[in-house]
Amino acid sequence: MRILVTGGAGFIGSHIVDAYINAGHEVSVIDNLSTGNKNNLNPKAKFYQADIREDISVLIKEINPEVINHHAAQIDVRVSVSNPAFDAGANIIGTLNVIEAGVKNRLKKFIFASTGGAIYGEQDYFPADEIHPTRPLSPYGVAKLACEKYLYYYKHNFGLDYIALRYANVYGPRQNPFGEAGVIAIFTHKLIRGEQPLINGDGLQSRDYVYVGDVVKANVKALGTEFTGELNIATGVETSVNELFSNISRVSGKNITASHGPAKKGEQQRSCLSYEKAKSVFGWEPAVSVAGGIKNTVEWFLKNPR
């Protein structure tokens, strides 16, 4: 199968590229390398350095993909809050550019990296399933939800099959430790360097952390399903920031006392998602616990110092 992975030099996308190639698919990658890393690129993938915010229709026609797996995005919620137009340029206009070019080239399927916690907002119940009200509290969440609605439009007007994978908080090897997002990568990087991570607020805020290897398996299963719609990819387990810090500190062997700073205004307090629908649709469920995933992540950072 000919597959295009946008953002295929990034954290999640590069792992998906590896899995698709290992499964025998012909894979191309589009990435502007703004946050992606050439070191993540699989040498068996055909790489095109391009920006999805620009006209990529000629490039898509050359690649001629049967499936597009769309992971190119602006991923920082705080950046979206400070500059909503910048976020929309990448996450709405960029996504539309990719969809439009694919539809014009008779694309068969579109796999979309969406978001769970940022789309649901403050939850009415835990864990949230796919019918939970969508009340995004950030431009990032608004943009992802808008793209899901556009995909619904393209399905019903152009017959484009799609699946939107609503990720919980993804973590693991290759995650960028230098941004504002990705607390596990940030804490791990600082702790193994003997630096002091800062916990925002009391550290009781919780998230659903899903290991990148499990996320990859969902993207592989997405190739073979006829399902169209949205699926949570999560663990159904909440872990607080304090628990994360304690776990990473223990695994890394660094006895550093937690340091707390001011709470971030408007930060969501809890997020936890149900994966029962993904289990029912294509037999997916998480296999890696937070403890096991943190161990894998710390070991990778120790072997790949930055």
* Percent of the chain at pLDDT exceeding 90: 93
**Confidence (pLDDT) at 266:** 66
Residue 207 has pLDDT above 90, yes or no: yes
Domain tally, the chain: 2
CATH of the domain at 127: 3.40.50.720
Residue 160 sits in the same domain as residue 250: no
**Confidence (pLDDT) at 47:** 98
Residue 15 sits in the same domain as residue 152: yes
Q: Give 249-286 pLDDT, tens digit per residue.
A: 999 998 888 899 998 876 789 999 999 999 999 999 99
Q: Give 217-228 pLDDT, tens digit per residue.
A: 999 999 999 999
Exposed/middle/buried for 261, CB within 10 Å: 0-12, 13-18, 19+?
Answer: exposed
Residue 180 has pLDDT above 80, yes or no: no
Its domain, for residue 243, covers 183-205+238-271+292-303
Residue 140 sits in the same domain as residue 194: no
**Confidence (pLDDT) at 265:** 72
Cα 92–Cα 93–Cα 97 angle in degrees, nearest 5: 120
- The band of 179, judged by pLDDT with boundaries at 50, 70 and 90, is confident
Residue 216 has pLDDT above 90, yes or no: yes
Q: Give 90-99 pLDDT, tens digit per residue.
A: 999 999 999 9
178 in a structural domain:
no
Q: How far is CA 126 from CA 84, 138, 141, in A?
A: 29, 20, 19
Preceding peptide of 127 cis, ω within 30°? yes
Active site residue 140: yes
Q: Give 235-251 pLDDT, tens digit per residue.
A: 999 999 999 999 999 99
Strands laid side by side in the 109-115 sheet: 46-49, 26-31, 2-6, 67-70, 109-115, 161-167, 229-233
- The band of 141, judged by pLDDT with boundaries at 50, 70 and 90, is very high
- For the segment 89-108, the average pLDDT, to the nearest whole number, is 98
CATH of the domain at 253: 3.90.25.10
141 in a structural domain:
yes
pTM of the model: 0.97
**Confidence (pLDDT) at 305:** 87
Spot the catalytic one: 20, 48, 140, 209: 140
- Distance, in Å, from the CA atom of 149 to the CA atom of 130, rounded to the nearest integer, reads 14
Residue 14 sits in the same domain as residue 142: yes
Averaged pLDDT of the chain: 96
Q: Kind of pairing, strands 67-70 and 2-6?
A: parallel
Residue 279 sits in the same domain as residue 248: no
Q: How far is CA 91 from CA 117, 145, 207, in A?
A: 17, 10, 23
* Residue 111: strand pairing partners: 69, 163
176 in a structural domain:
no
Where helices occur in the chain by DSSP H, the ranges are 11-22, 57-63, 77-82, 84-88, 94-104, 117-120, 139-158, 183-192, 212-224, 241-252, 276-282, 290-303
Residue 194 sits in the same domain as residue 281: no
Q: Give 25-74 pLDDT, tens digit per residue.
A: 999 999 999 999 999 999 999 999 999 999 999 999 999 999 999 999 99
Residues 6+ apart with CB under 8 A from 148: 112, 114, 119, 164, 230
Residue 117 has pLDDT above 90, yes or no: no
